[in-house]
Structure 1
Amino acid sequence: MGQNHSVSDSTGKTDKLPFHRVLAYASTDTAGNLLYCTVTTFVLYYYTDVFGLSVVAAGLILLVARILDAFDAPIWGFIIDHTHTKWGQNRPYWLWISIPFTLFFVLMFWSPNLSANGKFVYGLITYLLLGICYTGIGTPISSILPNLSNNKDTRVRLNSVRMIGGMAGFFVTATFTLSLVSFLGKGNDVVGFRITTILFALIGLALLLFAFGDTREINAASEKPLPIKQSLRAAKSNWPWFILVVAFVFYWLGNASRTSALVYYTQYNLGNKEFASVLNALILFQIVGMVAIPFVVKHISKTQTLIIGFLLAALGQILINFTGQSEIMLAVSWSVASIGTGVAVSMPFAMLADTVDFGEWKNGIRASGFLTAIGSSFAIKVGQGLGGWVPALIMGSFGYKAGAVQSAATLGSIKFCISWLPALFFIVGAIITMAYTKYEKQETSIKVELNQRRGGLEEA
């Protein structure tokens, strides 16, 4: 545990972070993904086949809650930009919001015995409150990165380790949730989901408290609270930031549509619902993409790396359309897509830190909380909300009914939602990312100029 991550910056000074501190930062995403990915992966199935909502009602909850919730991202960004405590600017929220976050997570899967309208209202309120709390947890995960290091290579490495931590959380929930629900509920999925989510909530709470206790911020102490108008000005003419936000929305559109449709596809098209757990376990292939990033960006640009991730993800999803009933080919296609999504989900988080620098260089304002809140939490929520709603809308239009024998048209719609739909979203994301190329070429000169403005001071 005494190992250090050591990188020399452009001035020749060395940037060192103890390995336990790197792990503490990574644990934030482990906790966030363990809980939130349980929601994004299983919520549509849970609402329709366990809680008893219609697919149209469930899809409407995902759409309404996510769109409303998306607008709390800039609010959280403003709050963080105005936060100054003895613990720093970002990390206190892993202490303050951890209990509400885990509580609403459990309540969301509690399945109270209500009328159809009561279930809709309950589902909408708990889903919305959980999303607000997740933004309070997730926004500091991204906005703290510029305050953990001023060295671009260290930021990329920190982000890669953080994403691997997130992948670990996602692996646990994606692989074991359905099995735990079955085992702990002893055939009663309502009870199974209750106990499983309580278990996950306790683990997530412990991880967030560890992250709060062991991370440190180096830049926040000297930053003054920013008026809202100034935070908004940090986005003015910040074109690389706009490009990343839009591209990231399309990533989450693709990712949410593929994960939302997965259980339906394995249950109704493949005839083996439990195979969804196998495919979710294969999402571990995302780690291949994540681990490769620090090595790849030494040879090609970050923009090119992100584009490759998008296109590889699209290729894997397209291949699913041609796998037929072959579980092996389905697994291979899913793994190819997972390597691509591992790259595509990781790169924007690291690149957002550079857009914070661009905003400071362009407008003289460093609004890391606001810019990363929009760039991460807003993009995630809009993308996941629409990405979960579109498959529900498509399947509902073709006559999907929970637990019933599905028509050929319904099966075709499910197959489209897991193959072509996410592929189209990923391809659009790649096209948008191409516009980032010219801004990446300016990064080195921007960092040099910013360093000169700050009097040549680097982190202690």
Structure 2
Amino acid sequence: MENKQYAKAKFTDVFKYSFGGLGSNLAFILVMSYLTFFYTDIFGIDTMVVSGLMLVSRFIDAFTDPLMGMLGDHTRSKLGKYRPWIIFGAPVLGLLIFLLFTAPELSANMKIVYVYVVYIAYSLASTVVNIPYHSLTPVMSQDPYQRTVIVSWKQGMGTVSQFIITIMALPLVNFFGGGKQGWAIYGALIGIMTTIAFWVCAWGGKDYDKCQPAQDGKKQSFNMLKDLGMLFKNKSMLMLMIAFGTDVLANATYSAVNMYYFKYVLHREDLVPKVASAILFAGIILLPLLPALSKKFGKKKLYWWGSLFSIIPLAVMWLQPTAGVTILMSMMAVFGFISRIPSNLGWAMLPECSDYTEWKFGERADGLMSSSLTFINKFGMAIGGFIASFFLGLVGFVANQEQPEAVLNMIVFLRFGMPILGYIASLISMAFYEITNEKYNEIRKDLDERAASQTK
């Protein structure tokens, strides 16, 4: 690509915007890592009920996520297109995070009603806030390299979330009194932090989220079928959705059974924060390297190889699930480093797919593209949670007692074997992703020429 100077965001604004990565991942990692365990072992809900809840909520998301993306694209306000949704939706999301981890004294049937209402409301609030947040990435900067840097900053803030959740959750829950009380106070804390983080994020996007007038003075109409048509004709976006979704499914499945693995297989719950630390800090090492690596090798190739090598440490632990602490820590550190590549690159590839949409159809659809990846992100998380809950129930898991061999084997498979299948699916899908470095250079050059001709 020619050394063209693109409009870039100021570093201070990028830093403020990156707080969205903190807010988004606080809730995401908390739900993925502990909600299933909280519902079964603390709130006393059957695993089959939890699995059903995950599925029902995703059917709702199938409609609400793309709708939210299109609403964001067509919003016109003094606060911009995407920021109003973040600003006003954040406190609602924060409140629902608290309610998710609150276990009121209810009858068995009313517990089920409670978790369905609260979880579905949480999912809707998450949609309202997260899709506009991700839609701001291509709006913040036109520079392809800076977009990857912005995503790296977002994911860097995500590692702070990972520290707060995976390492500090259990110690803080115990500090706050343990049990229902400890989880409720911790949920309230995370809800407050999530709200503040998203408000800082919206502040960072203030100078970039502008409502541009329609071309030729024509008012833009809200045509859902037309907008969805742009998505389904974008092969690369569809392949990215599948690859990213199966990676998320892999991570969600092992995260959902992670506590069960340490509690029932190893009988070492004390190792949870230690192993989480190894995964976290290994991932932190990768983050500053990602922009340079993606520039050198290309995002498509880097994503593919990252998914492939993520399989190796999982396979080692699947074969040796009760290996010593040194092997466990080493393999999980390797996994934490390598798996960061596809999990971060998905968001960095999203603006490329938005640029492709503009190049192919003459219209940008940042909200719709972001909503598609956000939906598949939540879908993978829910299916991972569903798989974990369903198969544990299928083999006769009963909380807070010694587990039979069939249950232990299932926990090990879900913790290490099932994620491998997810990464294999990612490899196949990413092979059909069409936007290589060369193709993107062609797209960007053509878009620049169009923009130049319109200003003459």
Q: TM-score range by the shorter chain?
A: over 0.9
Worse-matched range after superposition: 416-425 or 11-20: 11-20
Aligned to 1:306: 303
Corresponding letter in the other structure for 1:48 = T
Q: TM-score, normalised by structure 1?
A: 0.93
Corresponding letter in the other structure for 1:355 = C
Q: Is the 8 A contact 2:137 2:147 kept in 1?
A: yes
Aligned to 2:241: 245
Corresponding letter in the other structure for 1:431 = I
Shift of the alpha carbon at 1:35?
A: 2.3
Identity within the alignment, %:
25
2:392 is equivalent to residue 395 of structure 1: yes
* 1:222 match: secondary structure: coil
| Deviations, residues 25-72 of structure 1 (Å, cap 9, x unaligned) | 110010111123111110010000000001121222222223323431
Corresponding letter in the other structure for 2:205 = T
- Alignment CA distance shift 1:246-1:277 (3 Å): same
- Alignment CA distance shift 1:69-1:201 (3 Å): same
CA distance in 2, matches of 1:286, 1:133: 29
2:46 is equivalent to residue 54 of structure 1: yes
Match 1:132 to one of 117, 124, 127: 124
Q: Is the 8 A contact 2:317 2:323 kept in 1?
A: no
Q: How do 1:137-286 residues align onto structure 2 when only pairs under 5 Å count? A: 137-185=129-177, 188-216=178-206, 218=208, 220-222=210-212, 224=214, 225-227=220-222, 228-284=224-280, 285-286=282-283
Match 1:449 to one of 424, 440, 446: 446
Aligned to 2:88: 96
- Alignment CA distance shift 1:71-1:274 (3 Å): farther
- Alignment CA distance shift 1:198-1:446 (3 Å): same
- Alignment CA distance shift 1:137-1:282 (3 Å): farther
Shift of the alpha carbon at 1:330?
A: 1.3
CA distance in 2, matches of 1:172, 1:254: 22
User: Which ranges in structure 1 are unaligned for 5 or more consecutive residues?
Assistant: 1-8
Shift of the alpha carbon at 1:294?
A: 0.8
* 1:455 match: secondary structure: helix
CA distance in 2, matches of 1:199, 1:250: 31
Corresponding letter in the other structure for 2:99 = L
Aligned to 1:367: 365
CA distance in 2, matches of 1:214, 1:148: 9
Q: How do 1:18-33 residues align onto structure 2 when only pairs under 5 Å count? A: 18-33=10-25
Corresponding letter in the other structure for 1:334 = M
2:405 is equivalent to residue 408 of structure 1: yes
Corresponding letter in the other structure for 2:276 = N
| Deviations, residues 268-323 of structure 1 (Å, cap 9, x unaligned) | 00001121222222231222333221111232111111112212222222122224
Corresponding letter in the other structure for 1:232 = L
Corresponding letter in the other structure for 1:163 = Q
CA distance in 2, matches of 1:278, 1:409: 27
* 1:196 match: secondary structure: helix
Shift of the alpha carbon at 1:236?
A: 4.4
Corresponding letter in the other structure for 1:193 = W
Corresponding letter in the other structure for 1:241 = M
Aligned to 2:341: 343
CA distance in 1, matches of 2:344, 2:209: 23
Aligned to 1:6: none
CA distance in 1, matches of 2:324, 2:221: 56
| Deviations, residues 349-388 of structure 1 (Å, cap 9, x unaligned) | 11111111111111122111112211x2111111011111
2:313 is equivalent to residue 316 of structure 1: yes
CA distance in 2, matches of 1:378, 1:240: 16
Q: TM-score, normalised by structure 2?
A: 0.94
Aligned to 2:57: 65
Q: Is the 8 A contact 2:239 2:433 kept in 1?
A: yes
2:427 is equivalent to residue 430 of structure 1: yes
Q: Is the 8 A contact 1:144 1:217 kept in 2?
A: no
CA distance in 2, matches of 1:392, 1:65: 15
Shift of the alpha carbon at 1:341?
A: 2.1
CA distance in 1, matches of 2:52, 2:345: 31
* 1:71 match: secondary structure: helix
Shift of the alpha carbon at 1:141?
A: 2.4
Q: Is the 8 A contact 1:38 1:173 kept in 2?
A: yes
CA distance in 1, matches of 2:65, 2:207: 21
Corresponding letter in the other structure for 1:215 = G
CA distance in 2, matches of 1:213, 1:282: 33
Shift of the alpha carbon at 1:190?
A: 0.1
Aligned to 2:217: none
Aligned to 1:122: 114
- Alignment CA distance shift 1:272-1:127 (3 Å): same
Shift of the alpha carbon at 1:255?
A: 0.8
Aligned to 1:329: 327
Shift of the alpha carbon at 1:332?
A: 1.4
Match 2:32 to one of 27, 37, 40: 40
CA distance in 2, matches of 1:278, 1:392: 25
Shift of the alpha carbon at 1:136?
A: 1.5
CA distance in 2, matches of 1:387, 1:44: 11
Worse-matched range after superposition: 256-265 or 226-235: 226-235
CA distance in 2, matches of 1:163, 1:142: 12
Aligned length: 447
User: Which ranges in structure 2 are unaligned for 5 or more consecutive residues?
Assistant: 215-219
Worse-matched range after superposition: 78-87 or 439-448: 439-448
Q: Is the 8 A contact 1:76 1:373 kept in 2?
A: yes
Aligned to 2:9: 17
Shift of the alpha carbon at 1:219?
A: 6.8
